[in-house]
Amino acid sequence: DAVVYWMRMQDMRILDNRALEGASKCARERGIPLLVVFLFSVGDYRAHDRSPRRVDFVLRNLNILKDSLAELHIPLHTFTVEKRKTVPNRIKDLMNEWDVKDLFINVEYEVDELRRDLKLLELSTAAGIRCSVYHDRCLVQPGQIKTKDGKMSSIYTPWMKQWSSAIQSHPDYFKEACAPVANDPSVHKHSMFGPLFHDSIPDAIPGFECEDADKMAELWPAGTDAALKKSANLGDTRIGQYEDQRVRLDMDSSSRLSPYLATGAICARQCVRAVMKKHSNDTFNASRGSGPGVWIQEIGWRDFYTHIMAAYPRVSMGRPYHEKYADVFWEEDVDGKILEAWKEGKTGYPIVDAAMRQCKTQGMFPAPWDSSPASFFMFIDDLILIGYMHNRARMIAAMFLTKDLMIDWRLGERHFMRSFLDGDLGSNNGGWQWCASTGTDPQPWFRIFNPYLQSEKADPQGDYIRHFVPELRKLDNKGMPAEFEKLGYPKPIVDHKFARDRAIRRFKNVGEE
């Protein structure tokens, strides 16, 4: 007999984990061992466009967790399932085999995962297994923020007001960390699950081998300690400047916590708790005009998109939030050349290309260049990371694909998901639909980013561009497209003004063209 916590690839931590806390309490009360189970669902990784970098990050996190769990006398059992439809049965069979009567999980809000867990609940109830389900991912539980008529509030500004006041009036949302967990070593005495029961963790999952695993490990060390260190690095100064600097691509302007939040190596509660502790309780009230307040609102965006995903399963199914925009007339791009130019960072728009080359870069930084002080600073500081992209760069690249190139947002959404370490369906889908103007609280379709103006704001000296687009390294800031060809850099793939008018026309005439 044992109590099982089924850890998933989005709640990979011991500290402050609600389902794990519940499982540990139950095991203690019943005087039986607590086990942790982790399953590699290869079919899900394929269906959900998991990037090899993300899968590798999961494995690295798991290796650290295995040791930490061992210190707490908690065994970790891992196994692999190829066909995702068989997952609920496999878990139920395992519980039966081990004579487990109590299973604990944190909810995953993506539609396939919700369906999987409903099936698991059905099977486990029939088999006499109690399955306890916790809300752990968000600061405020999905479904709690509603309009006056009881519907999901899906406009960000009023939603955010309610979210902020919910957090302030219910400190239990985040103030207290979950109780520490551990097995009493004596529980293993008569149990088949000795403390040495740990399964070995594979080096890679076939089909998801990470080509630049070493570089990723160097840039993105795994585990909760690494996440807490990054979180502490936000410090007073960086978070204080967050409001002013958060659009800057050439500066150390954001936390880079997203891979850790996406795998759950750290949770949103921990982050907000730390910021609130340091920056007093009126952080929320200050909101605009306060770096910490604005930063917490970014965590709010993460909650917001998770709430949307939980309330509107269609967004997890490749459909626009605004169903009307299912009829937008996207370019056909029959031979895929337009999409390819975007992916390769060869659109002839330097800021877009720099972003997309950051997305594409494998395994190493571009070769060293002339040692201008700014570039040198960036190189030694590892300021520019790969396997990741700054929010403004993602917005610029996504807006360009969907508005300037009129390519269907779903192709970009998939490409990002397959490229990054922090791939998260809610935030990725929300970000893409915002840029494509098909989503909730969308960027209105008539407001289209001008890549040159964005470049001036986000990378005023051109350092970010020079870093990722070596052809333009010799060009000063005012370099114009006319000079591009001479430098071996492509001419702009489309005229921005023409593209802007085309996008506006297409959105205006949805269903008519």
List binding-site positions for FAD.
Answer: 242, 254-258, 295, 298-305, 422-424
Residue 471 lies near ligand FAD (rule: CB under 6 A): no
CA atoms within a 13 Å half-sphere pointing along the CA-CB vector of 132:
18
When binding is defined by CB under 6 A, the residue of 78, 255, 358, 455 that contacts ligand FAD is 255
Q: Which of 263, 427, 443, 455 binds ligand FAD (CB under 6 A)?
A: 427
Q: Is 439 in the site for ligand FAD (CB under 6 A)?
A: no
Nearer to ligand FAD by Cβ, of 76 and 139: the residue is 139
Contacting residues for 3 by C-beta, under 8 A, at least 6 apart: 23, 24, 26, 27, 30, 32, 33, 34, 35, 100, 102, 103, 104
Q: Does 343 bind ligand FAD (CB under 6 A)?
A: no
Helix, strand, coil percent content, the chain, rounded in steps of 5: 50, 5, 40
Q: Does 261 bind ligand FAD (CB under 6 A)?
A: yes
Residues 288-327 that bind ligand FAD (CB under 6 A): 298-299, 301-302, 305
Q: Work out whether 432 is an interface residue with ligand FAD (CB under 6 A).
A: yes
Q: Which is nearer to ligand FAD, 187 or 393 (CB)?
A: 393
The interface with ligand FAD within residues 262-291 (CB under 6 A) comprises 262
With CB under 6 A as the contact rule, which of the stretches 39-47, 82-90, 421-429, 488-496 interacts with ligand FAD? 421-429
User: Could you say which of 68, 168, 245, 391 contacts ligand FAD (CB under 6 A)?
Assistant: 391
Closer residue to ligand FAD (CB): 140 or 261: 261
Query: CB under 8 Å to 249, separation ≥6 — which residues?
Result: 354, 355, 390, 392, 393, 458, 459, 464
Q: How far is the CB of 240 from ligand FAD (least distance, A)?
A: 13
Find the part of the chain contacting ligand FAD (CB under 6 A) among 129-137, 251-259, 346-354, 442-450. 251-259
Measured from the CB atom, is 188 or 230 closer to ligand FAD?
Answer: 230
Least separation, in Å, of the C-beta of 277 and ligand FAD? 17
Two tokens, residue 292: 């910490």
User: What's the half-sphere exposure (Cβ side, CA atoms, 13 Å) at 396?
Assistant: 30
For 76, phi and psi rounded to 5 degrees? -120, 125
Alpha helices in 72-208 (DSSP H): 87-97, 111-126, 156-169
What's phi and psi for 81, nearest 5 deg? -125, 130
Residue whose C-beta lies closest to ligand FAD? 431
Check if the beta carbon of residue 258 is closer than 8 Å to that of residue 96. Answer: no
Q: Among 292, 423, 439, 451, which residue interacts with ligand FAD (rule: CB under 6 A)?
A: 423
Q: How far apart are CA 223 and CA 264, in angstroms?
A: 9
List the alpha helices (DSSP H) in 334-372: 337-344, 350-360
Token digits of residue 295: 């930063």
Helix (H) or strand (E) holding 133: strand 130-134
Contact range with ligand FAD by CB under 6 A, out of 134-142, 423-431, 473-481, 497-505:
423-431
Contact string (CB under 6 A) for ligand FAD, positions 125-144, x = contact: --------------------
348 Ramachandran zone, left/alpha/beta (phi>0; psi -120 to 50): left
Interface residue list for ligand FAD (CB under 6 A): 246, 254-258, 261-262, 298-299, 301-302, 305, 390-391, 394-395, 398, 416, 420, 422-424, 427-428, 430-432, 435
